[in-house]
Chain A
Amino acid sequence: MKSDFKKKIERSNKISKAVISFGGYGVIFSIIGIFLFLLYETIPLFYGAEIDTALSFKLSKKKHVVLSGVDQYKELSYLISNNGEIDFFNLKEKRITKKDTLPLAANEIITTGVRNSNGDISLGTDKGRILFFNLNLKPVFTGSQRRIVPQLELKKSFRSDVENPADNNGIKILAFSENDDGVLYWAWVNAEDKLLLKIYDPDEEEYFDFSLSDNLENVNVTALALNPDQESLIAGDDKGELYLFDLSDHSEPDLLDNWKAADFKITSLSFLIGNNTLIVGDKNGNVTSWFEAREKGSDELKYREVHTFKKMDSEIVNVVPSPRNRLFLVIGKNGKVELNYSTTGNTELEFSENKSRVLSASFAPKADGIFVVNSKNEVSLFKLDDEHPDVSWKTLFGKVWYEGYPGPAFVWQSTGGTDSFESKFSLIPLIFGTLKGTFYAMIFAIPIALFGAIYVSQFAPKRFAKIIKPTVEIMAALPSVVIGFLAGLYFSPLFEHHLMLIFLLSVLAPALFLILISFWGMIPERKRRTLPAYYELGFVLFVMAAVYYFSSIVSLPLEKIFFNGDLKQWLYSSLNVSYDQRNSLVVGFALGFAVIPIIFTITEDALSNVPASLSSASLALGASKWQTVKRVILPAAAGGIFAGVMLGLGRAIGETMIVLMATGNTPIMDLSPFDGFRAMSANIAVEIPEAPVDGSLYRVLFLTALLLLVFTFIINSFATYIGDKLRKKYARY
């Protein structure tokens, strides 16, 4: 019987041990699991670019390729040779599946060609002719089978020298673009080194022809770039100068600006996606990027040099922008190719075409491949793996000079209206927002929670303490969405409405409060001692009510006298401080409301747990109650108090709903308490619906989550460590 009983106990011991260890290890493993998962989702952000030769072959017939490209599935490529032949080369079957010929005159040779992302191609010939046609590689599905069908449509063909036909007007350099309204621009330099411009206006169905060389005396134009969005033309010359023409008036192009952009002959110019950033390459291998931005203290938009990229060791012969992002290829005369990213100024990778010249290079339409034809008649398709060029330690935590900004800055703006939007992924404004919200919450919560806990545990009448503590604990159970809702929809307008009163209460009230409270001290101590405890409380409540009443009475007249009747307006006009309705003060108030119960409860427990023998010892030595609290009880409870504050801090940092609802979620970095902010946690909530899976934003949001986890982990570990130390020092009673 007895052994049975013992066995039973043993068994239940074993079971409970198993359950408890399972629970404990389970918690640890799930935290490690979450951490690893976040890491797994985040790590790809920091992978470098990789390139792999997917395919390489030699053309059987010698061709001089002027333009080439592949379709979005990288199955079909086209090669336009200078004799007007177009070969469609199937990369899967490794054979030419179709041929076409452009209508050229006898002995007419194509000298130069450009293609935009719509598939519109313009070619220039040595006979001074420009061919304009559309070439699209369209996927056609028959059942589950996919076939890429090339479609060629000749749109226009004209002689470049309408006014003065001559045979030696071959086209040397050609630029072409088309804007959203269908306006077509061609700019070229002919054999006589004349810079010519043709604009087709679809509204008037009319061509406008200009010779821009009149504006450029003794200028030898060596590179051209057209910007259809800004309706401008940029020409570079052999001295490294750039000339900016305004083409917005179709009947009168205008030389706007001229500046030195390089020390050598400019050999290559190209606008990147979005048509803001201009890449300039020179004869000496220098590559720089430029865009229009305001200088400090000036309102004028001017092209400013932004990045200098890795120098090439030969002349830059071509710059190829990516159709998807701000990657671009820089091609050197010696066959070297650089892949750069304009936002960061980084060179993602380099490769070389075995000592042969690159005749034509292009991105696959999804920017996941690079197609290159070299002078040895070798055609190569590279698989490009550079998913997140827009994210690096520098873009996340450093200042980046984004397009159109006056200088490098910390900016978070993940998505914009267009595909060509330059994503700005600085975590600094978010971290700043989190810290700002936490700061305001803590300066509001810590004093109230701490003094409240001291009062309740040390001074309040027992009966009263018995009510306060559970009440505050109920506060902790209040769903944060309720607090956020109240703060955002009720308190923030109230705050704004009674700004002066709030201001008065925070400045005048403490002073007034101290004065009135000191009347209590004027009652002789022995009298006070005999009064029931709730008299004191009643007096405090009375004083609070009186202070509020007084403040609300004087608030309006004071606002009239000092702030012209509107403090908000005055802040803006006199101090240049703008007032957001959902500002940091409101958040601090709301978030503080969520944090107070945590700090209060833990602090109160810590204070109450200080053994009575210590306070007895202190009191018996003639210390007053307050001296005892200050010198004995608070130090002895320091570990617990610290832990409480840290836990509150952790809550404030991780809190989402309140900051989401009570701020405007504007990711600005401004210390003003009247401005809003965007916290990391709220950012995740705001942006996750807009983040395509596995995109940069998606992963950056995971990184934010990881960062939050690490933050709270560090804070909690720190709290435990310091708490333990304090406890060892003070709480070994």
Chain B
Amino acid sequence: MNVDIGNAVRKNEEAETSEERIVLETKDLNFYYTPEVKTLKNINISIPEKKVTAFIGPSGCGKSTLLRCFNRMNDLIPGVKLEGKIEIDGQDIYSPEVNLEDLRKKVGMVFQKSNPFPMDIWENVAFGPKVNGVTDKVELEELVVSSLKQADLWREVKDRLKTSALDLSGGQQQRLCIARALANKPEIILMDEPASALDPISTNKIEETIEELRANYTIIIVTHNMQQAARVSDYTAFLMTGDLVEFNSTSTLFTNPDEKLTEDYITGRFG
């Protein structure tokens, strides 16, 4: 994989210089799908607030798994075990006091394959607020409109809010899923390869959307597309076989990685 990464990275250089607050932090995180196999090994990572952090790494290295630890979606899988701590805003999200629904409201997620509900567009976006107790019509309307605008979808759907979300194109559906996550006013948005199933133009659109969201949200994005990571992220984490190999500012990681493994990977020597 020979790509012109340097060019893409330059754009984000200024981001590195500002002061950062850590919003999400893992401490000695181990994760098991089955007791014998450790899928995540001793992960320590600090995700800065209102930055885009990219997770890269070869297939099966545990990027999605790590991401799903952050909103506890892994809880749904029977038999999993987690060791260590994950703190969001200083609070351990696996402690018994934590309300799962609140956590997931705070940590939104966009899936690899777009999964809009079989409802109309408006209902899709309003779903999150509704299940979290927003009943005021005006407030809902505002949330729907602003979320669609933020997800850069408003212009395209404003006249067909009452038509089925399933009639949208794949790219629009994915942006709808982003809008749906935004309607919950999350602090953190997890994106698991949000553009992997899309064509270049739709991918571009998604990236533009991320670009606009970065000022207000902490975004963690899993991607296989190194250019994409370089283009959109401020920080990049490189994982391999459950290990966090390197976590660095994107420009550093792509131009001057600390680890030999990282360099091998980004220059396409394996992966």
Instruction: List chain A positions with a Cβ less than 8 A from chain B.
Output: 462, 524-527, 529-530, 611, 613-614, 616-624, 627, 631-632, 635-636, 729-733
Contact = CB atoms under 8 A, between A and B. Distances in A.
B225 interface: no
Contacts of B184: 621-622
Interface of B: 71, 73, 76, 78, 96-97, 99, 101-105, 108-109, 111, 113, 115-119, 127-128, 130-132, 164, 166, 177, 180-181, 184
A543 B124 CA distance: 39
Contacts, number: 82
Contacts of A618: 117, 127, 131
Contact of A616 (B73, B96, B108, B132): B73
A617 B101 contact: no
Given A462-B78, A621-B181, A732 B118 contact: yes
A457 to B, nearest CB: 14
A619 B111 contact: no
8 contacts: A462-B78, A526-B96, A530-B96, A614-B117, A616-B73, A617-B180, A622-B103, A730-B119
Contact of B104 (A614, A621, A636, A729): A621
A462, A619, A635, A729 — most chain B CB neighbours (10 Å) = A619
Nearest to A636: B118
Contacts of B180: 617, 621
Contact of B131 (A527, A623, A729, A732): A623
Contacts of B101: 622-624
Contacts of A525: 99
B145 to A, nearest CB: 18
B132 A622 contact: yes
A624 B97 CA distance: 16
A325 to B, nearest CB: 62
Nearest to A730: B118
Contact of A614 (B99, B115, B130): B115
A613 B118 contact: no
B78 A624 contact: no
Given A620-B104, A729-B118, 12 more contacts: A526-B97, A527-B96, A613-B113, A614-B115, A616-B73, A616-B76, A617-B180, A622-B128, A623-B127, A631-B130, A731-B118, A732-B164
Contacts of A613: 111, 113, 115
A330 B138 CA distance: 80
A524, A619, A621, A624 — most chain B CB neighbours (10 Å) = A621
B118 A620 contact: no
A21 to B, nearest CB: 34
Nearest to B128: A621
Nearest to B109: A620
A616 B116 CA distance: 11
A250 B96 CA distance: 101
B128 to A, nearest CB: 4
A619 B184 CA distance: 12
Contacts of A462: 78
Contacts of A621: 104-105, 108, 127-128, 131-132, 180-181, 184
Contacts of A730: 118-119
A462 B78 CA distance: 9
A524 B76 CA distance: 19
Nearest to A527: B96
Contacts of A619: 73, 76, 104
A620 B180 CA distance: 11
Closest 6 CB pairs between A and B?
A526-B96, A622-B105, A623-B131, A621-B128, A613-B115, A620-B109
B127 A620 contact: no
Contacts of A623: 101, 127-128, 131
Contacts of A622: 101-105, 128, 131-132, 184
B179 to A, nearest CB: 12
Nearest to B131: A623
A622 B180 CA distance: 12
Nearest to A524: B96
Nearest to A732: B166
Contacts of B131: 618, 621-624, 627, 631
Given A526-B96, A631-B131, A732-B166, A620 B108 contact: yes
A733 B114 CA distance: 10
A620 B128 CA distance: 9
A725 to B, nearest CB: 13
Contacts of B97: 526
Contact of B111 (A530, A616, A635): A616
B63 to A, nearest CB: 17
B244 to A, nearest CB: 23
Contacts of B118: 614, 635-636, 729-733
A632 B102 CA distance: 19
A127 B129 CA distance: 108
Contacts of A732: 118, 164, 166
Nearest to B95: A526
